[in-house]
Structure 1
């Protein structure tokens, strides 16, 4: 890529355009369901009366105006949930400019293909309107209300339409050109199944993910700096899904970064090392990997598939560790008489409450391996609904009932799920390489 850098002379004008109403932007509610940032740029449009316009970039002779750049910055701010500050405005400008440059490259490539192959690829207005209707519905609005909402924040409808038109068109082209050619072999699926089976006993993680593509934003240093700013904004309240939709280079960006449940072996080693140390509800610091920088949000964590979970209830008589043999015998006789009266878990507590000195309660769900040694044997042997004989602990005597039993984890993905996941990963890699090649062969001048 031939890229001629000539400073940021237009930044002042762009900031005026992007932040004409900073207080309104800072207080707006989250807008969900927006497209990922990699979508096509509109042709240069006339700036509003009284607002000067200049050239922000030239992409193979196509012009990106400062008005287009300011509009895209507004859209990013409105849809990412990140509050604009003097510190993060350069990041918004950089992301907006990169997106617009990529979109021009995508449109140029699509027009070339359409001309050569005499096919229609670029999405029409009906396709774009369907996406806008979906976005409006997610925000409990009609299309007109949603566009009016954006207009009230200084965002023209054409800005959103062009972003969506590029996203739809480029996705359609990548899927059409490469989707039918991708072949996920049985050996690949078998290898993935073997890996998942080998890791089944380890914890699984439900995560949200963002990847800042270093090649796309100008290098690893830029990616790390941008990721650090996004982490700071999310710690201050910016919604993770909105940030993922606008900044992530992964396919999960369209779903707000939701990657579902992942097992060890499915993520880069650097990412897994951090996941192992996180607790549900935590947001990671930037994690550098080969192609960029990850940000993780750990939604939940569960035990591995080989672990056994039981739900227990108990009826107990308090008994000091040094109680006499007569006291222990009396307590044992009381619980032994209670046991046949307990018909099921649902009535255990009510039945036990009829006997003075007996305390009953729900012990909740736990891994069998984590139970007190005295309870483990009973938890392993009892069927669901069965009640143990009295069990002696340092606190007293206990009747334990197993109310439910299940294997931990979510099971190993079937062949179809694994094939779909592998195809998605391959298609995403192809799309990123395609864009890298377009950038490298382009002449791009930013001013």
Structure 2
């Protein structure tokens, strides 16, 4: 019996000794450098897994929002862009962002290689993976906005440019220690650096691309819903819940450490504020659509969740729970009015990515000084304007060049057949008479 007890207790005691608890004071736990390295690396990897799962959420959301004749292409775009983002971020993106000189503008064009050291506090590979899935998220934002009329391979080409060059440059301005970090710009997990970047690139794309054939009347009024009906609202809902789940990795992982009492408390606070902001976005969109249109728009509620999540991403740690709800609620309201704004300019954003990511991202970034005393409105404004201006201008130029060289918009006839037929030859849903 004693042997059994020793056998069971030995590994338990060893584990306790490993994680050390070498001293406890001022409500903070100190562990050895190696144990901190292990915890932080594991934290990066787990949060990275969650953010990767957002790729599935985007695929579900977009597949449900397009018509049933364009679902296979959405699936192809989402798995394709993830693969492209992974390769491009390894090939050039990571060091373009993190090879930047202090206060500089651009890093170096060399592939990533592992340079792990105990002094860093986490495995270099875990950081690469965590940052790579952020890159893929940025590219995913573009996919749904331009759905049902863009050619597949031009989109893949743009995905490579966005993942390998455009996103890493603006990312490096802040997270790589570039010039925005130098002036005091603050964007905790990427309301601007990720979400507005994806939204600005998508806005440039839909301007060049034009709306789906028949989407607007000559007077600019959106056509009745039937020709453009979403293929599956339940699938959209599941997609949003998957994104909501992934966002805990997105924002929580941006604490960048889980090796101390303070870090654990901070991550918990971030989770709470992230969740409450999404709740605020949902309910605000529900109330506003009911008051404005006499009906509660479930699509706007779902996008309201995204808008709330995007808004809190710039600063999920400092706000109180009530403030987080209000920040998220404002994001939900922005989604509703942003959608009407796009309609007024006859801009066809199939999934509502631009209101949810670009506009809510701008709001969330500008709201940071409301709760973070270290941030200034002037630095936030400079960051928002510079990032979105660069991304929009470069993206507009790239889309324009591609359009002039080989065209990016499917013909009227191809759109009528459906992109599943014309682009992949794989039909997602059986056509019924």
Establish whether TM, by shorter chain, passes 0.5.
no
Which entry has the higher C-alpha Rg, 1 or 2?
1
| Larger strand fraction of residues | 1
If the length of structure 1 is used for normalisation, what is the TM-score?
0.28
| Larger helix fraction of residues | 2
